[in-house]
Amino acid sequence: MGIKKHSKLLFLSVFLFLQTQTNAVEGPLSFDELRKGVVQIRVYSQSVNPFSPWTTDPVRAGSGTGFLIGNKRIVTNAHVISNAKFVQVQRYNQTEWYGVKILHIAHDCDLAVLEAENPEFYKDSRDLQLGEIPELNSPLIVVGYPIGGNKVSVTRGIVSRKDQSVYSHPAVDSHLVLQVDAAINPGNSGGPAIQDDKVVGVAFQVATKGENIGYLIPTNVIRHFLTDIEDGKYDGYVELGVRTLNSFNLSLRKAKGIPDSLEGVFVSRVLKNGSAEKYLKEGDFLTEIDGNPIGKNGTVMQDRDARVDFVEIVDNKHAGDKISFKLFRDGKEMSVTFPALRMPDFDFMRNQYDKPYDFAMIGGLLFQEMSRDLITSWSRGGNTSGGSQLLYRFFYFIEDGLNRKKKTDVVLYRKLSHPVNSSSDYFVNLVLESVNGIPVNQLGDLQKILSQSKEKYLRLKFLDVHVPLILDREDAEKADAKIRKTYGLE
């Protein structure tokens, strides 16, 4: 599986994790007892190529760690078993590898739950308990199976920071992380960080810059995941759906009539379909969330030794839970309460796993719905000329007020060269608006038009381009048969 890089973070390979301890004993656990709950994972994975969605990448072998949490469940990182074709597990005193089934996977918080198929795997095992979020400057150990050997490994360190940060696996979701100086290496992913015989975090990322900077998923995120799956399915995180601005600018505060005694942040944008859509307004000055004062920089006191972004409080909620704000609006202080909602609008910005990519082709022109995977593979492909519109639309689609009727953008991201499309280079990397006057608000619209149209010509209208691309429909369809054979789409 190797090491994957994204932004400034490097997330590791496989390593499982533990939650509730059903066979607890009194007194401190010996290391022999502790390692009975730690699991080594072996994975064979294969992903679809987003740029050529009819092809798959080579099978890759990887390894990692996990641990037992009770009821035969093994917790690990989602990135450890993403795109997996075959997964096996083994504990330190076993010689046989056991197959597993994936019960739940949460890509937005990089966690997963597995179960070994053979009961023999659990013989003489131990379930680990979840502890609380550790204090700054407190010691812990990280247990796992990093590369370089097949034996369990232990490293020691201290908790050096608590902060909200983007998780590399989804690339867009931010949750609380614990920064530690314990050595975390490829293969440690999914492994438990232990303090006072309890799991206080799961190893999952390291910094690409700096030395001995590793990151743990804290227990509040783990518990959120485990609570979510209690009904048998994973729903995902809720979103407040607002953009905010700090209140350090004294002139802005005076212009908005904010009393000097109030700290808080300004609402600069309310996003459609977010939890706050019908309750907060642009220009609102948020002063408290669930009784927690919000500072001028948008943080709240998370515990006695750390301040975190106020949205961390929303992050710990589930759909239907209440969110309460005190705010200053139109010269008055007021309170609002509303339910937390999930916001599917963000899904296209998240890295996708374990699924194929749908596409449409006409005359060798390839269309897909906008996604982070497509943007990433498209940029590696090198044919990014004129792609500024594509990038802008990706990052600002959900904030653009003109997109309220669209599910997503459908883009002409590539062409498979053939005489029938020789004059279409200008339109590559543009957003498709309509075909023969019929709006294209999602890929299914385009697929329906192409399958049902009987018109002689297809007039493809692109965003911000007044002259359409014209294709002879019959010529394009005939060319597609040869293109599929030439480029291996069959």
Residue of 13, 45, 79, 104 with catalytic role: 79
377 is catalytic: no
The tokens for 83 are: 């795109």
Distance in angstroms (rounded) separating the CA atoms of residues 314 and 312: 5
The tokens for 365 are: 């022109």
Residue of 110, 228, 284, 480 with catalytic role: 110
Bridge partners of 165, per DSSP, are: 175
Residue of 153, 189, 275, 371 with catalytic role: 189
The tokens for 250 are: 């004294």
End-to-end CA distance of the chain: 29
Helix (H) or strand (E) holding 288: strand 285-289
453 is catalytic: no
Residue type, 320: G
Helix (H) or strand (E) holding 159: strand 153-166
Strands 60-70 and 98-106: unpaired
The full DSSP string for 97-127 is -EEEEEEEEETTTTEEEEEESSGGGGTT--P
Strands 73-76 and 111-116: antiparallel
Distance in angstroms (rounded) separating the CA atoms of residues 150 and 131: 28
Strands (E), 304-429: 306-309, 322-329, 332-339, 360-362, 365-369, 410-415
Helix (H) or strand (E) holding 200: strand 198-207
Q: Are 45 and 82 in contact (CB under 8 A)?
A: yes
Distance in angstroms (rounded) separating the CA atoms of residues 82 and 389: 31
Distance in angstroms (rounded) separating the CA atoms of residues 375 and 388: 11
| Alpha carbon separation from 283 to 247, 265, 313, 404 (Å, rounded) | 12, 9, 21, 21
Task: Tell me how many degrees the CA angle 124-126-128 measures, rounded to the nearest 5.
Answer: 175
Q: Are 389 and 463 in contact (CB under 8 A)?
A: yes
CA-wise closest residue to 75 among 24, 15, 131, 126: 15
Distance in angstroms (rounded) separating the CA atoms of residues 143 and 92: 12
315 is catalytic: no
Token pair 């509730």 in the structure block, residue: 20
Number of Cβ within 10 Å of residue 82's Cβ equals 22
Active site residues: 79, 110, 189
